[in-house]
Structure 1
Amino acid sequence: MPAQVCVARIGAAHGVRGAVKLWTFTEDPFAVKDYGPLSTKDGARHFELTSAREAKDHLVVTFKGVATRNDAERLNGVELYIPRDKLPETDDDEYYHADLIGLDAVTTVGELLGRVIAIHNFGAGDIIEIAPPNGTTILLPFSNAVVPTVDIAGGRVVIEMPKEVEGDKPGDAEP
């Protein structure tokens, strides 16, 4: 199965005629209409958008075959995917999260830190999560200062470890 990229998540039912709230993870929220049928990660279920309109911070959409509120309620939380090759190419210094997952994370001197397992954004910017071969995962800002090199073809990201992380000062630990 080709690499899959999550482009949207279905939310709560909206109204009584099968509409749902849809949170998209695309630059243009309406781009989800251009990718053809969307599917679950395992490819077992497919969804064809029949209408979409903008709401406050999401879209309100209907899917072919979803005609009642009960049908719509059963879809809450379903993530929708497309094959990676259906996405447009990125500009320089732009990356799809899916392209970064699994890359080796190495220091500027080539020491292996681990593998990239996720990119998060909790509202203050992207955070790269690295799983070392053993030990606790590392969360770092995904910025040019901390990640100066992304080499997708070479299968690695280079990490410049920050000198100090706010809150990590000697003596701050409680007894």
Structure 2
Amino acid sequence: MAAPVCVARIGAAHGVRGAVRLWTFTEDPLAVKDYGPLTTRDGTRQFEVTHLREAKDHLVVTLKGVATRDEAERLNGVELYIPRDRLPETDDGEYYHTDLIGLAAVTTAEQPLGKVIAIHNFGAGDIIEIAPPQGATMLLPFTNAVVPTVDLAGGRVVIDLPQEIDGDDPSAA
């Protein structure tokens, strides 16, 4: 069975009737209601969105069974998951981060680099993090130039290591 996929994180309570702020990790934030029951990673707790509305940079949601501010406050920071098979299929060249985690990373010359351990986005585009068997992890732009091949069926990504990094001029030190 595939690992569950984190689609949202509960934030602070909103109001006095049990509503919470919700940050979604889905392309369409409102789709979080369409995925059915949301669970904690270990599956021990289940939540159903009964009402949602858009706010400035998040959603405000009401969860079934959460009726007071105290109950809502206790949920702050809880991540919500769904089974991978509930997500829609991706288009060509699009990938769910969860599908990339754990893939082997190799160079264009088929030399092993390590494993993909994370995909980050700090606001300027996706970054792929690769952990070699030893040493520090590598953070590389997740672009077609640097990652020309994603082979989900083969369990690997091909990395075309950049020769230089913009701004990396040792003579300027």
What's the TM-score once normalised by structure 1's chain length?
0.96
**In the alignment, which residue of structure 2 is the partner of 1:53?**
53
Structure 2 unaligned segments of length 5 or more: list them: none
Q: Which residue of 2 aligns with 1:168?
A: 168
Match of 2:78 in 1: 78
Matches within 5 A, 1:77-156: 77-156=77-156
Question: Equivalents in 1 of 2:69, 2:34: separation in Å?
Answer: 25
Corresponding residue for residue 19 of structure 2: 19
- Which deviations, in whole Å up to 9, do the C-alpha atoms of 1:93-119 show, x marking residues without a partner? 000000000000000000000000000
Q: CA deviation at 1:171?
A: 4.7
Q: Which moved more, 1:27-36 or 1:110-119?
A: 27-36
Q: CA deviation at 1:168?
A: 2.9
Instruction: Report SS of the residue matched to 1:150.
Output: strand
Letter in 2 for 1:145: A
CA distance in 2, matches of 1:143, 1:9: 27
Letter matched to residue 128 of structure 2: I
TM-superposed deviation, 1:172: 5.8
TM-score calculated relative to the size of structure 2: 0.97
Corresponding residue SS for 1:34: helix
SS at match of 2:165: coil
Distance of 2:154 and 2:63 partners within structure 1: 40
Deviations 1:113-143 (A, max 9, x none): 0000000000000000000000000000000
Aligned partner letter, 2:19: A
Q: Percent identity?
A: 79
**What per-residue deviation string (whole Å, max 9, x for no partner) do you get for residues 74-101 of structure 1?**
1111110000011011000000000000
Aligned position for 1:31:
31
C-alpha distance in 2, partners of 1:18/1:44? 21
Amino acid at match of 1:18: G
Structure 1's unaligned 5+ residue stretches are none
- Cα distance between partner residues in 1 of 2:60 and 2:81: 18
Match of 2:7 in 1: 7
Q: What is the alpha-carbon distance in structure 2 between the residues aligned to residue 70 and residue 78 of structure 1?
A: 15
Deviation at 1:12, TM superposition (A): 0.6
